[in-house]
Amino acid sequence: MSGSLPVIYLLDLFGVAVFAVSGSLSAGQKRMDLFGVVVVALATALGGGTLRDVILGAHPVFWVADTLYLFVAAGASLVTFVLARFCDFQGRLLKTADAFGLALFTVIGTQKALHLGIAPEVSAIMGVMTGVAGGIIRDMLSGEIPLILRAEIYATASLCGALTLVVLSLLHLPVWMSVIISMLVTLCLRLAALHWRLALPVFPARRERVEP
């Protein structure tokens, strides 16, 4: 997808697999059947990038151009479906992998938008969208208020990484260096938030008592 960095492509596929696993687990908790689980997994893994490409008018959409994304997401979902009987995915490992996926998707989304000549501030938004929209779609399909809008420094970590990449690109650093630094910014912020349970201030709810 990035063209210049084959390692990014492999990491991107890994991110797709991680997000597919998280979508499968979320769908499974709602007692969806096999195919419902795969649908939610695909939407989680490919939804953010699809939204980015559609809004940017960057056709063909990445998984239409390269169907390996589709097979990786579907495969990860099926493996999860089978393995969920035997092991517990919900622990620290999944959250760490998810943080890794968030960092990757954010940076890849931002980089793709910059590469298409999109304005820097819009590119940062596109990076955040690529990183978080999949998780929002997952939660909406599962009938829940999107967790990541409430969770510890999730979208915020994504935004910081995206802004870092935008700034480093304006400074004309080599692409591989800015990509790695920005990825680390998101990853470290998110892992730190998970580890120390950091959180942003919550909206001051003057009226919460009168809400049903």
**Which stretches of the chain bind a second copy, using CB under 8 A?**
24, 27-37, 39-40, 42, 50, 54-57, 59-61, 63-64, 67, 70-71, 81, 84-85, 88, 90, 118-119, 121-122, 125, 128, 132, 136, 140-146, 148-151, 153, 155-156, 159, 199-208, 211
Question: Which residue lies nearer to a second copy by CB, 5 or 81?
Answer: 81
Q: How far is the CB of 11 from a second copy (least distance, A)?
A: 23
Q: How far is the CB of 161 from a second copy (least distance, A)?
A: 13
Among residues 168, 163, 105, the alpha carbon closest in space to that of 135 is found at 105
Question: Which residue lies nearer to a second copy by CB, 92 or 207?
Answer: 207
Task: Return d(Cα 66, Cα 50) in angstroms, integer.
Answer: 13
Q: How far is the CB of 174 from a second copy (least distance, A)?
A: 27
Q: What angle do CA 120, 126, 128 make, to 5 degrees?
A: 110
Q: How far is the CB of 138 from a second copy (least distance, A)?
A: 12
Question: Which residue lies nearer to a second copy by CB, 137 or 177?
Answer: 137
C-alpha distances in Å from residue 166, one per residue of 114, 157, 173: 8, 14, 11
Question: Which residue lies nearer to a second copy by CB, 42 or 108?
Answer: 42
Q: How far is the CB of 137 from a second copy (least distance, A)?
A: 10
Task: Return d(Cα 145, Cα 97) in angstroms, integer.
Answer: 22
Q: How far is the CB of 35 from a second copy (least distance, A)?
A: 4
Question: Which residue lies nearer to a second copy by CB, 67 or 171?
Answer: 67
Among residues 189, 165, 147, 21, the alpha carbon closest in space to that of 106 is found at 165
DSSP 154: S
Question: Which residue lies nearer to a second copy by CB, 61 or 181?
Answer: 61
CB 181 within 8 Å of CB 168: yes
HSE-CB of 108 using CA atoms within 13 angstroms: 32
Task: Return d(Cα 170, Cα 189) in angstroms, integer.
Answer: 22
Among residues 149, 109, 112, the alpha carbon closest in space to that of 129 is found at 109
Length of the chain, please?
A: 212
